[in-house]
């Protein structure tokens, strides 16, 4: 089974995680039964290792880690490879791979540009529906 592990930074304010939780929920709906987990680098739980172990316990023999970062800064270029090396050592029966940072994909840069223009034209467009 192929699991998907979304990887975000984390923050002290729990409200910060809401968009990431929404992304994870939408992916679960669209993932065709593949398990989807959300993990954080710091300040929030679960951490990457706990989420990967949980996916492995569900029977995942492959895990793809998707960094939910706008760009590939130090966390994606330096911290994530170190964390993945540790996971590969801890879970030798699981193939663990990662993708580019989500913000570096054409679909996301296009969507953010459009969303920014929408907010310029209607600043209230980003407010939650009542």
Which one of the listed residues 2, 9, 53, 75 is annotated catalytic? Answer: 9
Cα(22)–Cα(115) distance, integer angstroms: 17
| All residues at 6 or more sequence positions from 59 whose CB lies less than 8 Å from its CB, including other chains | 1
Active site residue 2: no
Please report which helix (H) or strand (E) contains residue 96, including its range: strand 95-98
The tokens for 36 are 């989807």
Q: Which residues of 82-117 are buried (b: 16+ CB within 10 A; e: fewer)?
A: ebbeebeeebeebebebeebbeeeeeeeeeeeeeee
Assess contact for 8 and 17: CB atoms under 8 A.
yes
Residues catalogued as catalytic? 9
């Amino acid at each position: 089974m192929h699991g998907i592990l979304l990887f975000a930074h984390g923050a002290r304010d729990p409200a910060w995680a809401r968009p990431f939780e929404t992304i994870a929920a939408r992916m679960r709906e669209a993932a065709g039964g593949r398990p989807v987990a959300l993990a954080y680098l710091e300040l929030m739980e679960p951490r990457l290792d706990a989420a990967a172990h949980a996916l492995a316990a569900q029977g995942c023999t492959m895990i793809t880690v998707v960094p939910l970062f706008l760009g590939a800064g130090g966390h994606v270029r330096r911290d994530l490879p170190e964390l993945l090396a540790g996971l590969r050592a801890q879970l030798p029966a699981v193939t663990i791979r990662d993708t580019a940072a989500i913000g570096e994909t054409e679909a996301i840069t296009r969507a953010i540009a459009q969303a920014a223009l929408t907010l310029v034209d209607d600043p209230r467009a980003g407010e939650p529906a009542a």
